[in-house]
Amino acid sequence: MPATGSLSDYAEAKLLNHLFGGIPWSPLPIVYLGYMVGVPSESGPGSEPVGGAYERLAVDNNLSNFPAASNQIKQLATAKTFPYATNSHGTVQAIAAWDSPAAGTGNMIFYAPLEQPTAIQPGDAFKIPANSFQIMAKAGGGFSNYVKNALLDHLLGGVPFTLLTYLYFGYMTTVPTDAAAGTEPSGNGYARVQVTNSPSNFPEMLPGATKFNANRINFAEATGNQGTAAYVGVWDAASAGNFLAWYQMALSKSVVAEQIPFIPEQGFVLTMD
């Protein structure tokens, strides 16, 4: 049975560039499932069987096959059976999904190692039972549960995550969690800062790299004591809205009157690993 899987570096970069950078990546209409006899990693797939009637399976990328993410988990709800092997395919180490139908081509989207590798001999047909593997977003990492579920549904389920024109940065005086933001200052000149969601502000991220801000982000001058800023947060609205991401500041800062808090260039850094 497959274990919990992982997104590829390629998919992580595409999703982060969509979320931070405004570089659109539309949901795939079809994903192509296959299996590998070589051990994959996030940076690249293992080898697929060659010949012997092996082929990837086309799966419509919708909520029938990939139901809405729950608790930051995405599953394949429908059973899938591959063609019968006409010769030995070797020992299957993992299943994976690609954006291309032909074996050995395209970009790997995710992979899930098998808990018990399975040998495929002539006459065998590899099967993926319903709900037998899951892609799980890691706890922590700086992304809210809202974003984790939304991006999983964008990737597997075909539910577009609307491209954000602006991102709104703020700071918090109490500890946030993936489930909820911490406490923002109230009054004394505090306000979230609107930042255009563009590659000039959030340069395009390459697979395996990190996402960061290219330009300093300045907050309004404090008119009074705002407390100790310890965490930076990102939302999709100037007030209220959906909490998207957060990180802990390297050094907490007591914000008092006449100070202008800021996030330095490359001070905001995120990765999906």
What secondary structure does DSSP assign to 57-124, as a single string? Answer: EEEE-STTTSPPPBTTEEE--S-EEPPPPSS--EEEEEEEEESSSSTT-S-EEEEEEEEEEEEE-TT-
Q: How many domains does the chain have?
A: 2
Average confidence (pLDDT) over 108-125: 95
Question: Does residue 93 share a domain with residue 55?
Answer: yes
Whether pLDDT at 167 is above 50: yes
Query: How would residue 187 be classed by pLDDT, with cut points 50, 70 and 90?
Result: very high
Same domain as 136, residue 170:
no
Q: Are 20 and 100 in a shared domain? A: yes
Give the single-character DSSP code of 266. T
Looking at the fold, whether 129 and 70 belong to one and the same domain comes out as yes
Asked if pLDDT for residue 169 goes beyond 80, the answer is: yes
Domain finish residue from 120, 155, 190: 155
Whether 201 has a pLDDT exceeding 90, the answer reads yes
Residues spanned by the domain of 189: 164-270
122 and 48 co-located in one domain: yes
Question: In terms of domains, do 129 and 203 share one?
Answer: no
Residue 5 is predicted with a pLDDT of 85
Let me know whether 9 and 137 are in one domain. Answer: yes
Q: pTM of the full predicted structure?
A: 0.95
For residues 169 and 133, state if they share a domain: no
Q: Are residues 188 and 234 in the same domain?
A: yes
